[in-house]
Amino acid sequence: MSTPSTYDLVIIGAGPGGYVGAIRASQLGLKTCVVEKDKCGGVCLNWGCIPSKNLIHQAQTFAEIKALEDMGVEVNPDGFDYGIVQKNREASRSD
Ligand SMILES: Cc1cc2nc3c(=O)[nH]c(=O)nc-3n(C[C@H](O)[C@H](O)[C@H](O)COP(=O)(O)OP(=O)(O)OC[C@H]3O[C@@H](n4cnc5c(N)ncnc54)[C@H](O)[C@@H]3O)c2cc1C
């Protein structure tokens, strides 16, 4: 049986608020515990900021096809697969 640990501070949630607060608290010398019920990184790293920026980047890159066409380069968009776009977004998550 493990010995129960004691902490100076317990933070509920390992989103940007939780993990940044925990890092700062431990820098200040507090024995800190972070409790996360789902995925470390919270909304930002798993569903919000990072995955949405990945989608935006892919959309911007796709839009550059038009610039290529304006330069006379023909691109066949038939291979466009939204499933792969979503797989790329998934791969950008923190886990
Ligand atoms: C689509 C989208 C795009 C975004 N883009 C940006 C951006 O570009 N720039 C920006 O600054 N912000 C952006 N945001 C906002 C950003 O995601 C939030 O401001 C940020 O995630 C808030 O962090 P937080 O730690 O307060 O909460 P959250 O990220 O919500 O984290 C809370 C954590 O607590 C956990 N939790 C909740 N209850 C419990 C419990 N009882 N026990 C254990 N764990 C628990 C959750 O599972 C979660 O991991 C975006 C949000 C979305 C939805």
The DSSP output letter for 76 is -
For residue 38, report the distance from its CA to the centre of ligand 1, in Å. Answer: 12
pLDDT given for residue 1 in this prediction? 54
Residue 1: inside a domain: no
**Which carries the bigger pLDDT value, residue 94 or residue 61?**
61
Residue 3: inside a domain: no
**Do 37 and 73 belong together in one domain?**
no
pLDDT tens digits, one per residue of 32-65: 999 999 999 999 999 999 999 999 999 999 999 9
**Do 75 and 61 belong together in one domain?**
yes
**Do 14 and 33 belong together in one domain?**
yes
CB 46 within 8 A of CB 93: yes
**Do 36 and 56 belong together in one domain?**
no
**Do 56 and 87 belong together in one domain?**
yes
- Binding-site residues, ligand 1, Cβ < 6 A: 12-18, 35-38, 42-44, 48-49, 52
Q: Is the pLDDT of residue 71 over 60?
A: yes
The DSSP output letter for 3 is P
Confidence of residue 79 (pLDDT cuts 50, 70, 90): confident
**Full residue range of the structural domain in which residue 25 is found:** 9-42
Report which protein residue has its CA nearest ligand 1's atom 17.
44
CB 10 within 8 A of CB 16: no
For residue 28, report the distance from its CA to the centre of ligand 1, in Å. Answer: 24
CA distance 7 to 2: 15
Average pLDDT over residues 5-28: 97
- Mean pLDDT of all residues belonging to the chain: 92
